[in-house]
Amino acid sequence: MSKATERSTITGVLKRIDLKVRVNQTLQHLSVALCFLLGALLLIKAAPLLVPVSMPPGTWVVVAGSAAFLGFVLWSQLGGRRLERAAGVLDSRAGLNDEIKSAYWLMRQEDSSPWIDLVVARAAATAHRLDPRRLVPVALPRRFGVALALFVLLQLLALVPSNGPVLTFAAVSDSARFERLQEAYVEDLRDMIDGVGDELLDEEARGLLEEALEELAADETSLEEVLRDLREAQDALDEGNLEMIATRDALDELMQELTGSNELAEFADALGNQELSEAAELLRELSERLGDLDMADLADLGDQLRDASAVDEPVIQELLDALEDAAAAIAENRLEDAQEALDRVAAALEELSAQGAQQEANNDAAEAAESMQEALAQQPGGSPGQTQAQMAQSASLSGEPTDAPATQPSSEVTRSKGGSPGTQSGPSGNATGDPSGGELELGATTTLEAQLALEVIDGSAPDSPEEELDPEDLFQEASRQQSSIVQYRDVRAPSRYSEGSALNAERIPWRYRGLVKKYFLAIRPEERK
C-alpha cells in the first residue's frame, strides 16, 4: 500500500464516519427539538385546563420552534467536515487507543519521518479492517420515544372537553377574568333583550342597547363609543323610575284613605302590597256586587271613595277622577254609573300595573347595561384602568350629556350600583363569582373609605400632579388588584451627580463631619463687608 493510498484510506473512512456522526447528531437535535416543541404544545393545551392562564397560539410555537431548529441545524452543519472529531469517535468506538487520531494529525504535518510513516501505515491497515457501519450505526435516539409519548398525550388531551380551568387562583389574571365577566354580561343583556317583549322595554333604550351589542360583537368601534351607547341606553331605561316612585307613593296615600272601609279593606291591602292587578280585580268584583249592598253600606262606600278621591296626587289623577265619579254616582244612587266609574278605576290600576312591569324590565336592562359598562371599563386590554367615572369624565369633557360626576370627593363615592330603587343588589364589591354560572355572586360589601385608606397607605398615588386619580379609580383599582402595586422609586435619583460624587469621594468619617465643619467654619477668613 503506497503512502497516498494509506492516507486516502484513512481519510475515506473518516469521511464516512463523519457523515454518520453528523446524521446521528442531527437526529439527536431533532429529537430534543421535538420533545421541547411537543412539550410546549402540551403545556399550551393543558395549562388552560388546569389553571386560568392565557397561552400563545400553538401554531406560532410550532412555526417559531421549527424556524429556530432549522437555523440551528444549518449553523451546526456550516462548519464543514470535522474529520478530527470523526477520528476521535472511531478511536473511541473501536478501542484503538488514539491510533487513527494520532495518524490523522501526524499525516497532515509537514514533518515526515519513518516513524510517522509507520504510524500512518499501521493506522491505514487498521482503518481498512474497520467497518464504519457497524462502529457508528445511524440510530434513532431514544428521545424519539419520549416525543412519541408526548404526541400521543397531546392527541389524548385534544379529546378532553374544556369546561374551564380545574384550579382557580385568587390572583386570576385580570385579562381572563374580565374577559369572562364581559362575555357573561353581554350574554345576560342579549338574553334580556330577546326575552322581554317589545312592549315592555323602552324602544329608544332597546335600540341603543342593540347598537352597543352589535358594536361590541363587531369589535370595530372604540370602547369609548360602546360605553357611551350603553350609558345613554341606561339613562333612557332609568327615566321612568321617578314617575314610578311617585305613583307608588300616591297609591300608598290612597291606601291610607281607604283602610277604614269594610268593603274596601281587601282592595286597600292589595294597593298597599303594590299588587295593582289584584286590586283591579277586587274593584271589579265590588262593582258587580254593588247592587247587593244595603243603603248604609253604599253610603259608607261613597263617603270612603269621596274622601279618597280628594287626595292630591296628580300622578294618578285619572284614577282619582274615576273614584270621584264613582262616589258621586253612589251618592245619587246611580249604581250603573257607579259600576262604570269603578271599572274605569280598575282599568287605570291595570294600566299602572303594566307601567310598573315595564319599568321593572327597564331597570333590569339598565342594571345589566351598567354591569357591562363596568366590565368593559375594567378590561385590561381595552382601556387599562379606565373606570366608569373616568369614562363619564371623558364624556363630559367631550360635551356629551352624562349623569356621572366628573370628580367626586372620596367620601361621597359610596353610591349604589344596584340599579333601580327597590331592587337592591348591593354595591359592586369584589365580584369573584363564576360568570358562566348565570347569576353573579357578589362579594361582601366593602366601604369605599376603607379601600381608599388602604390605597393611600400603600402609596398608590398618581405619578404626576396633572394626572389626578379619580376616587372611583381607587375603588376599582383596590378591588381589582387585591394589593397595591407601587412602582419602585429611587429616592436618591433627585440628588445631583455632583452631590453623589462628593459623597463618594468623602473620606471623613460621618461622626467627625460636624467637628471638621466647625473647624473650617472657625478658621475661615472674615467676609468682606
Residues that bind another protein (CB under 8 A): 3, 82, 84-85, 87-89, 97-99, 101-103, 105-106, 113-119, 121-123
The whole-angstrom separation of Cα 225 and Cα 382 is: 12
Q: C-alpha grid cell for residue 489?
A: 422609586
Closest CA to 202 of 239, 171, 230: 239
Q: How far is the CB of 131 from another protein (least distance, A)?
A: 22
Q: Measured in Å, how far apart are the chain's first and last C-alpha atoms?
A: 110
CB of 117 or CB of 269, closer to another protein: 117
By C-beta, is 112 or 423 nearer to another protein?
A: 112
Nearer to another protein, 16 or 45 (CB): 16
Q: Report in angstroms how near the CB of residue 124 gets to another protein at its nearest.
A: 11
| Long-range contact set of residues 224-229: C-beta below 8 Å, sequence gap at least 24 | 224/383, 224/391, 224/394, 224/395, 226/376, 227/373, 227/376, 227/377, 227/388, 227/391, 228/391, 228/395, 228/400
Q: Which is nearer to another protein, 126 or 378 (CB)?
A: 126
| Cβ 89 to another protein shortest distance, Å | 8
Q: Is 358 helix (H, G, I), strand (E, B) or coil?
A: helix
Which of 7, 228 has the CB closer to another protein?
7
Find out whether 281 and 266 touch, Cβ atoms under 8 Å. Answer: no
Quick one: 87 or 233, whose CB is closer to another protein? 87
Task: Quote the least distance from Cβ 126 to another protein, whole Å.
Answer: 11
Please report how close the Cβ of residue 473 comes to another protein at its closest, in angstroms. 58
Measured from the Cβ of residue 511, the count of other Cβ atoms closer than 10 Å reads 7
Neighbours of 41 (CB within 10 A): 21
100 or 361: CB nearest another protein: 100
Shortest spacing between CB 11 and another protein, in angstroms:
15
- Min CB(104)–another protein separation in Å: 8
CB 300 within 8 A of CB 263: yes
Q: Could you count the other beta carbons within 10 Å of the beta carbon of residue 255?
A: 20
> Inter-axis angle of helices 241-258 and 295-309, to 10 degrees?
150
Residue placing its CB nearer to another protein in the complex, 105 or 144:
105
Q: Measured between alpha carbons, how far is 229 from 369 in angstroms, rounded to an integer?
A: 10
Question: Among residues 45 and 82, whose Cβ is nearest to another protein?
Answer: 82
Of 89 and 147, which has the nearer Cβ to another protein?
89
Cα angle 244, 245, 251 (rounded to 5 degrees) comes to: 90
- CB closer to another protein out of 42 and 121: 121
Name the minimum Å distance from CB 4 to another protein: 12
Residues 444 and 439: their CA atoms lie apart, in Å, by 16
Residue 71 beta carbon to another protein: minimum distance, rounded to whole angstroms: 25
For 496, how many CA atoms within 13 A lie in the half-sphere containing its CB?
3
Q: Is 353 exposed, middle or buried, given 0-12, 13-18 or 19+ CB atoms closer than 10 A?
A: middle
User: What totals of helices (H) and strands (E) does the chain contain, helices first?
Assistant: 21, 0
Q: Residue 219: what are its φ and ψ, rounded to 5°?
A: 60, 35
**What minimum distance in Å lies between the beta carbon of 154 and another protein?**
37
* Cβ 16 to another protein shortest distance, Å: 17
Measured over all CA atoms, what is the biggest interatomic distance in the chain, rounded to whole angstroms?
Answer: 151
Q: How far is the CB of 122 from another protein (least distance, A)?
A: 6
DSSP string, 115-169: HHHHHHHHHHHHHHH--HHHHS-----THHHHHHHHHHHHHHHHHS---S-S---
Q: Of 24 and 277, which CB lies nearer to another protein in the complex structure?
A: 24
